[in-house]
C-alpha cells in the first residue's frame, strides 16, 4: 500500500482557491489522485478534500509549514493533513448489546479497513469473553451517578495510554458528560437506532412501534453535548410492516445499525467527513 496524503480544508469562499491549492501541490510534484470540493453558496464557505501520493522522502513538517505560511494564513483556512501510513486508533465503547461489537471486531481484521483497535471499554462485563477471543484488552466499569466523573477520568486515562484517536460508541448505553465530549470534538461517533430527528432518546424501537411507522432507521453522528443532536454522518432505513412486533424491529434494526455505523467509521477513517457547524460534508 502506498502512503497517501489527505488534506481537508474549509475557509471563506472566493475565486481561485482550487487553482491556488492544486498549484501548491503541483509545484511540489504531488500526483493528485482525488480532489473533491464543495462550496456552500449560502454560507459562503469553501470545503475541499485533496488526496495525493506522498513520496517516500517527503518532509511532512516542512510541507505543513509551507502550506500554512504560503496559503492557509492568507485565506483563513482551517485545515489538516493526514497520512494513510499513520493508522488511526479507535477506542470502542460498548454495553450489553454486541451486534455492533462483533461487526467492528470483524472489520478490524479485514483488508481495507485501516484502523487499529487497541482497547474496548464497557459498563458491563458481559462482552469480556468476546474481547478475549479477539485478543483485545477489555475494561469494564460499573457506572453510577455518583462515580461517573471518576469513571470518565479513568476512561480518559486509558484512551490516552492506548493513544486513541477517535471513539466509537457501539450502542454504549451511558451518556457521556459534556466535559468528556468537549475533549473529543467531532471524534466520538455514535449510532442511534432511529432515523433522527425522529425518536431521539430512549427506546426508539418502542417509540416507532407505538407510532406505527412503516420504516425504521439508524443514524450515525458525532456526539455533541446535546443528546442525539450532533452532526449526522450516515443514515439508512428499512421497511417494516404491521406484522413486525418490537422484537422484529430490534432484529431488523440491528442489522441496519451495524451497516450504518460501519459506513460512518469508513468515512471517518478515510478522512471523508468534514464537520461544519452542526452538519457534515461527506466526500465520497
Give the footprint of its own copies on this chain (CB under 8 A): 15-16, 18-19, 22-23, 25-26, 29-39, 41-42, 99, 102-103, 106, 110, 112, 133-134, 195-199, 211-215, 217, 231-237, 241-243, 245, 247, 251, 255, 259, 262, 278-282, 284
80 has which bridge partners? 8
What is the closest distance, in whole angstroms, from the C-beta atom of residue 131 to its own copies in the complex?
12
- By beta-carbon proximity to its own copies, the closer residue of 156 and 276 is 276
Rounded-to-integer distance, Cα 165 and Cα 89, Å: 5
Nearer Cβ to its own copies (81/156): 81
Distance separating the N- and C-terminal Cα atoms of the chain = 20
| Cell numbers representing residue 270 in the block | 478515510
Q: Which is nearer to its own copies, 188 or 221 (CB)?
A: 221
**Least distance from C-beta 253 to its own copies, angstroms?**
13
Q: Which three cell numbers stand for residue 118?
A: 487497541
Which residues are the active-site residues? 228
Q: Are 63 and 79 in contact (CB under 8 A)?
A: no
Q: To the nearest whole angstrom, how small is the minimum distance from the Cβ of residue 266 to its own copies?
A: 8
Radius of gyration of the chain (CA): 21
Q: Is 74 exposed, middle or buried (0-12, 13-18, 19+ CB in 10 A)?
A: exposed
Shortest Cβ distance from residue 231 to its own copies (Å)?
6
Instruction: Name which of 146 and 284 has its Cβ closer to its own copies.
Output: 284
Written as nine digits, the cell of 91 is 477506542
Amino acid at each position: 500500500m502506498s502512503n497517501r496524503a489527505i488534506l481537508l480544508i474549509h475557509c471563506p469562499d472566493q475565486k481561485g482557491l482550487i487553482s491556488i491549492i492544486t498549484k501548491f501541490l503541483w509545484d511540489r510534484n504531488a500526483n493528485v489522485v482525488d480532489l473533491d470540493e464543495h462550496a456552500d453558496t449560502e454560507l459562503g464557505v469553501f470545503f475541499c478534500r485533496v488526496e495525493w501520493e506522498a513520496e517516500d522522502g517527503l518532509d511532512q513538517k516542512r510541507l505543513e509549514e509551507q502550506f500554512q505560511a504560503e496559503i492557509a494564513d492568507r485565506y483563513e483556512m482551517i485545515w489538516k493533513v493526514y497520512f494513510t501510513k499513520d493508522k488511526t486508533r479507535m477506542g470502542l465503547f460498548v454495553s450489553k448489546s454486541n451486534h455492533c461489537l462483533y461487526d467492528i471486531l470483524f472489520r478490524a481484521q479485514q483488508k481495507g479497513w485501516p484502523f487499529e483497535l487497541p482497547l474496548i471499554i464497557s459498563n458491563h462485563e458481559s462482552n469480556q469473553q468476546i474481547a478475549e477471543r479477539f485478543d483485545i484488552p477489555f475494561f469494564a466499569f460499573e457506572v453510577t451517578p455518583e462515580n461517573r466523573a471518576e469513571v470518565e477520568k479513568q476512561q480518559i486515562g486509558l484512551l490516552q495510554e492506548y493513544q486513541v484517536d477517535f471513539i466509537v460508541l457501539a450502542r454504549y448505553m451511558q451518556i457521556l458528560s459534556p466535559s468528556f465530549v468537549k475533549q473529543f470534538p467531532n471524534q466520538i461517533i455514535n449510532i442511534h437506532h432511529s432515523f433522527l430527528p425522529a425518536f431521539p432518546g430512549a427506546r426508539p424501537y418502542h417509540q416507532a412501534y407505538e407510532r406505527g411507522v412503516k420504516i425504521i432507521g439508524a443514524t450515525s453522528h458525532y456526539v455533541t453535548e446535546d443528546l442525539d443532536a450532533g452532526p449526522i454522518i450516515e443514515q439508512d432505513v428499512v421497511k417494516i410492516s404491521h406484522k413486525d412486533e418490537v422484537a422484529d424491529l430490534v432484529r431488523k434494526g440491528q442489522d441496519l445499525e451495524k451497516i450504518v455505523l460501519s459506513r460512518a467509521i469508513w468515512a471517518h477513517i478515510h478522512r471523508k467527513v468534514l464537520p461544519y457547524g452542526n452538519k457534515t460534508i461527506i466526500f465520497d
